[in-house]
């Protein structure tokens, strides 16, 4: 069983490799619903990749499969060189703890803990870690460290979630609609932070916000569970046109 290779030593190797990935869910009638229909892609170290497409096209499912949170039905997913389909539970837990970060639309902070405690919790177990106060300072929230989530705005809560990821220094960050619940100004601030994160590690972001997607290095447009278009350093107009073509 190969141990995960950190991006610090991985050189030009892809951080995530997906080969012929399919994913189906059981249907109520006893059959199956095919959701992903053969996806092949790679994510390079330091790449900022956006995934867009109509609602129900399989974006979240792809994100969860390519991060190892959901098992593939067929095909192969490697994260930092490790096959998540054949890795032991222990190896997967270690991969998630030390190498992978997640950001969700709903922030997923623990309500009873302060911002500092939320950031400190996963970092306490991680192999590499950043002081929680330093991570909060990086997202501009040094003065909110002792606030609980309910006393923070949505944008501030999402920045705490980013600080929580920064504190474990993962090699790759997966984000599902990270700006989906935010107003334009807070969303822009969160995106600025994610783009900054992508300078040092890889970021894969699912989004409905096509302006946000256009800030990525590469945009994948999904349609019916397959890659419909792939755009590199696109102009926002090209992203809008590609998504309109996928609807
Ligand atoms: N656990 C599940 N069981 C059954 N079907 C599922 C499950 N998860 C997702 N699906 C189906 O897979 C399809 C794709 O869902 P997914 O959440 O990946 O879409 P999405 O592109 O992220 O959509 P949205 O933009 O609305 O978030 C949908 O038709 C959904 O009903
Ligand atoms: Mg989704």
Pick the residue whose CA is nearest to atom 11 on ligand 1: 35
Of the listed ranges 8-12, 102-106, 193-197, the least confidently predicted one is: 8-12
Task: Summarize pLDDT for 21-78 with one digit per residue, the tens.
Answer: 999 999 999 899 999 999 999 999 999 999 999 999 999 999 999 999 999 999 999 9
Which residue's CA lies nearest to atom 25 of ligand 1?
A: 55
Q: Measured in whole angstroms, how far is the alpha carbon of residue 240 from the centre of its chain?
A: 22
Round to whole Å and give the CA distance between 224 and 226.
6
**What mean pLDDT is reported for the chain?**
91
Q: What is the CATH number of domain 13-99+208-247?
A: 3.40.50.300
Helix, strand, coil share of the chain (percent; to 5): 35, 25, 35
Nearest CA to ligand 1 atom 1: 25
- In angstroms, rounded to a whole number, what is the distance separating the alpha carbons of residues 159 and 186? 9
Say whether pLDDT at 188 is over 80. Answer: yes
**Residue written as tokens 């059981």?**
26
CB 172 within 8 A of CB 201: yes
Query: Using CA atoms, how far apart are residues 235 and 136, in angstroms rounded to an integer?
Result: 32
Query: Distance between CA atoms of 26 and 133, rounded to whole angstroms?
Result: 45
d(CA 153, CA 185): 12
Pocket of ligand 1 (CB under 6 A): 25, 33, 35, 53, 55-61
Residue keyed to tokens 């102009």:
235
Average pLDDT over residues 68-97: 93
Q: Which atom of ligand 1 is nearest to the CA of 53?
A: 21
Q: What is the pLDDT of residue 4?
A: 55
pLDDT at res. 1: 44
Ligand nearest to the CA of 243: 1
Mean local confidence (pLDDT), 11-22: 91
Q: Whose CA is nearest to atom 30 of ligand 1?
A: 56
Pocket test for ligand 1, best of 24, 26, 29, 33 (most atoms within 8 A of CB): 33
CA distance 199 to 156: 22
* Exposure class string for 146-166: b at 16+ Cβ within 10 A, else e: ebbbeebebbbbbbbbbbbbb
């Amino acid at each position: 069983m190969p141990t995960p290779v950190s991006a610090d030593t991985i050189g030009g190797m892809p951080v995530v490799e997906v080969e012929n990935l399919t994913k189906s869910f059981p249907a109520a009638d006893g059959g199956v619903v095919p959701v992903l229909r053969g996806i092949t892609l790679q994510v390079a170290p330091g790449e900022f990749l956006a995934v867009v497409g109509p609602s129900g096209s399989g974006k979240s499912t792809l994100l969860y499969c390519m991060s190892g949170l959901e098992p593939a039905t067929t095909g192969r997913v490697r994260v930092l060189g490790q096959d998540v389909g054949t890795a032991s539970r222990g190896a997967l837990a270690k991969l998630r703890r030390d190498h992978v970060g997640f950001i969700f639309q709903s922030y997923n902070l623990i309500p009873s803990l302060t911002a500092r405690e939320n950031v400190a919790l996963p970092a306490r177990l991680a192999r590499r870690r950043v002081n929680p106060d330093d991570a909060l300072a990086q997202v501009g929230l040094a003065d909110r460290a002792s606030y609980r989530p309910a006393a923070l705005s949505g944008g501030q809560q999402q920045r705490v979630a980013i600080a929580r990821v920064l504190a474990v220094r993962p090699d790759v960050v997966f984000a599902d609609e990270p700006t989906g619940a935010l107003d334009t100004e807070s969303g822009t601030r969160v995106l600025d932070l994610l783009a900054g994160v992508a300078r040092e590690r890889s970021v894969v972001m699912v989004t409905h916000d096509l302006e946000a997607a256009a800030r990525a290095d590469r945009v994948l447009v999904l349609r019916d569970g397959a890659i419909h278009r792939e755009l590199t350093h696109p102009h926002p107009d090209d992203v809008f046109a590609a998504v309109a073509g996928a609807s």
